[in-house]
Amino acid sequence: MRVDMLTREYPPYVYGGAGVHVAELAAVLRRSVDVRVHCFDGPRDEPGVRGYAVPEGLTGANAALQTLGVDLEIVDGVGAVGDDGVASDLVHSHTWYANMAGHLASLLHGLPHVLTAHSLEPLRPWKAEQLGGGYAVSSWAERTAYEAATAVIAVSAGMRDDILRSYPSVDPTRVHVVHNGIDLEGWRRPAGDEALARADEVVRGLGIDPERPSVVFVGRITRQKGLPYFLRAAERLPDDVQLVLCAGAPDTPQIAAEVTGLVERLRERRSGVVWVEQMLPRDELVAVLSHGTVFACPSVYEPLGIVNLEAMAVGLPVVGTATGGIPEVVDDGVTGRLVPIEQVQDGTGTPVDPEAFVADLAAALVEVVSDEATARRWGAAARTRVEEHFSWSAIAERTLEVYRTALA
């Protein structure tokens, strides 16, 4: 079986969970099937991977039009028979950026189209701040692909509910739940004198005091990640607790300015506020997580949250919002705490009572970070949970089952 995987993100250009998902899934699937990856951001040297640049005539166009231009190039690439004479049997697209490429490839080449839902445009209306009218284009592209796809993979049961609510014409029997996975070997707490010394060196170099308890946040600066709520909640943390923010790539100048202002205000009131704006390589991020006490996921929209799996694999308990797929990852009172939230039903995920959400988030963080023994016990349980439920080998087998269904 030849599967053509279509994605915007692929190493070395990965900035979010979808890119991590595609890279890990493709690597494991290659043990069983022939996987050809088609991605954005220009040519790659990796065998079996073809990268595409924005067509020259669209380099100054709206970002949504640039995306569709790359999609058309990908459609042509999918139709090419490889040097080995093998043609594609199925296309599998990820995120709206590549969904239209999958849809058109399905029509043009007569292939089944499987798509994985990592997020939904109707539930991210703040993207209009970035794309202007391009948001209407991205929404059209996503809806068209979902309604025509042979099969849709949701990364959580909560995401499946969101899909059927957002696109009611999609046949529920075509929507399958296959969770995100985690590389259990790559995300593991350092062990041994040399590895521990290296981790200490990394965190000290970032300005983190390894002797102080800390709350860690990792994520892009975007509305869905709930960072402004988290920064307000952090004002209530005990004085000895550090706040470690691994946060960059702001969606807009507006949210960048808002987060910067909140961080500056926090620094005026307390010490130990460390903001790492660059994307850290995996080994350095593992070092940061391994020195943390608790991981915070204050998202107001999160289909599953690979960052939670990564933190849990390193042995951190998670305090996360009880929304989207997070309750399918975090076992309340066993691997962390779920923070209740009542949300406005307008697609933004905005808390009905923002102050109550901030207060509940702060209380949960204080509870866990103040009880070192419980944090360690929940962290160990978190590692066990990801080992038992979120290995990539299990995720790949479930994905192959969806492929077989689509081909049938």
Predicted local distance difference test score (pLDDT) of residue 190 = 94
What pTM does this model have? 0.80
Q: What is the mean pLDDT of residues 332-343?
A: 97
For residue 318, pLDDT beyond 80: yes
Predicted local distance difference test score (pLDDT) of residue 345 = 85
The letter for the amino acid at 156 is: S
Nearest to 15, CA basis, from 37, 39, 38, 36: 39
- Token reading at 360: 């509940």
Sheet-wide strand order for 2-7: 49-51, 34-39, 2-7, 90-94, 113-117, 151-154, 175-177
Percent of the chain with pLDDT over 70: 100
Q: How many residues does the chain have?
A: 408
CB 40 within 8 A of CB 49: no
Lowest mean pLDDT among 36-50, 62-76, 112-126, 362-376: 112-126
pLDDT bucket at 37, cuts 50 / 70 / 90: very high
Q: What is the mean pLDDT of residues 75-96?
A: 89
Q: Where are the alpha helices (H) located in 167-274, listed in sequence order?
A: 193-205, 227-233, 253-269
What whole-number distance in Å separates Cα of residue 40 and Cα of residue 14?
11
Q: What is the CATH number of domain 193-389?
A: 3.40.50.2000
Domains 2-181+391-407 and 193-389 share a fold: yes
Per residue in 261-278, pLDDT (tens digit) is 999 999 999 999 999 999
E-assigned strands of 103-261?
A: 113-117, 151-154, 175-177, 214-220, 242-248
What whole-number distance in Å separates Cα of residue 303 and Cα of residue 299?
10
Average pLDDT for the chain: 94
For residue 126, pLDDT beyond 80: no
Per residue in 346-403, pLDDT (tens digit) is 878 899 999 999 999 999 999 999 999 999 999 999 999 999 889 898 899 999 999 9
- CATH class of the region 2-181+391-407: alpha beta
Domain boundaries, the chain: 2-181+391-407, 193-389
Cα 177 versus chain centre, distance? 16
CB 382 within 8 A of CB 329: no
For residue 305, pLDDT beyond 90: no
From the number of C-beta atoms within 10 Å of its C-beta (0-12, 13-18, 19+), residue 279 rates as middle
Q: What is the mean pLDDT of residues 24-34?
A: 95
Q: What is the mean pLDDT of residues 236-258?
A: 94
For residue 132, pLDDT beyond 90: no
Predicted local distance difference test score (pLDDT) of residue 370 = 96
